[in-house]
Structures are given as structure tokens and as C-alpha cells.
Structure 1
């Protein structure tokens, strides 16, 4: 009778264990929902090129007028300090700094380089998730509409 009770106990334990495990929920497979996140090994920055256009972008130039003003003011103030004594010296320093600043500003502006325009490429991509991305980059991406590409560091590359 002891063996029957052991068998019955094992059977009852097995049934309780199966019942407990059947209550566990397994994750649902990916169905395009963001509830579970993207499936593994899916490229989130990949897609098909819709259009490629050559565009012109304005580049920043260098503006040396501020630097010229400061250097001119300092130089003018130093030169003014060599003139006169007392209140005349102070007036000469201030006047030299003002005149030096004006001259330095003009010299700096004359040596500034204007910004120009450069050729860039604007690529519109329909990503695999259905969204659109537009990337404007200087180097020619070498892609055409219909090409499959990926975006990395704001540059488009063929895949």
C-alpha cells in the first residue's frame, strides 16, 4: 500500500506542476507592433531611396572683424599711453584705443573670407518601418531611386 501512495503522490505532484506551468504566458511573436519592440536583427535605419537631388548649401565664412577690433584697440591704447602725462595721458590712451579699434575692425573685415555655396545631395529614403527620412550630405552617396540603403552618422550608404 505504501508504493500506491507514493505513485499517487508522484502523479498528483506531476499534475499540480503541469497546471502551474500551463498558467505561464509566453511572449507573442512579433506582428509589427511596437508593444514588444522590433524583432532581432532588423535594421531600423534601412530603406529604399525615393529621390536624390543635388542642392546647394550655404557655408559659414570666417569673420575676423571682431579679432581685428580687439587687437586694434589694444595696440591703439598702448600707443596712446606713450603720449603725455596725467589727464592728457588718459585721454591719449582712450583715444588711441577707440581709433585703434575702428582701424582694426576695418582691417579684420577686409581679411574676412565670405561663406560660399557648396554642392550637396539631398536623399529621401522610405525606411523599412514606413517612415521617411531625408539626409543632406556633402559627399556623393552614389545611389539612385530604388536602391536599398542604410543611414549611419547622418550619411547614406548603399547596402
Structure 2
């Protein structure tokens, strides 16, 4: 079992180095589609939390079960496995949440929209570009005429 955990940890460290830093990540569904964008000015913003979609809870529960099963013997092992699974599910749910901002934007055409953006800091009065396809927002980013 220790060999398995070593392989998992080493593999995750190896693949984490493959991520490109400083480059915008694009949803794979955006490839080969014509995207449109709208430009506007942020009128107001407020912090929001995006709920876990279940993935963090699931991965946390499995990890907790595996780690909990390595503790104790007999009935103690069963309790440790159960506690590990529950604790892992809770931790995974919390880690699966993401901080974001709800932006109220006055578009250049006079309409007002509200979009949720994560991963960037925005401020009131900032000009932004909202990239969309079929009504779905792919990204919100600062906009400047350069």
C-alpha cells in the first residue's frame, strides 16, 4: 500500500509541473467555435463562493477512506476508515469551493448584465471584455484598446 501511495504522490507532483503558468486556460468546448464578446464597465461587484460540483467531495472521501483504512486493527480500523471517509468528504467539499466575484456590468450598448468571474481581481469602473458562445460565458477579462 505504501508503494501505491508513493506512486500517486510522485505522479501528482510530476503532472503538476506540466501546467503552464501565466497563460489563460481555455475550456476545451471553446475550440473550433466562433466566439463573440461584449465590452462594458463594471458598475459593482461582490464576492461569491462557487459550490463544489461533487468532485472534491468524492475525491476527498476516497482519499480519506484509503488513509483511514491504514490505521488501527479490527473494529478500530473500521472506525478509522469511516472517520477518514467522512473527514475526507468534508475536506474535499471545502477544497472544491472556489472564490469568485459577481460583476454587474454596464455594456457599451446600454444593457446591463451580471456575470460570475473567478481567478482574477476586478475593480469598480474597470473596463472588461465578456467572451461568450451561445449565451455561455467563457471568460471575463480586463479590456484595453492596445
* Greater share of strand: 2
Greater radius of gyration (CA): 1
Alignment TM-score, normalising by the size of structure 1: 0.39
Alignment TM-score, normalising by the size of structure 2: 0.41
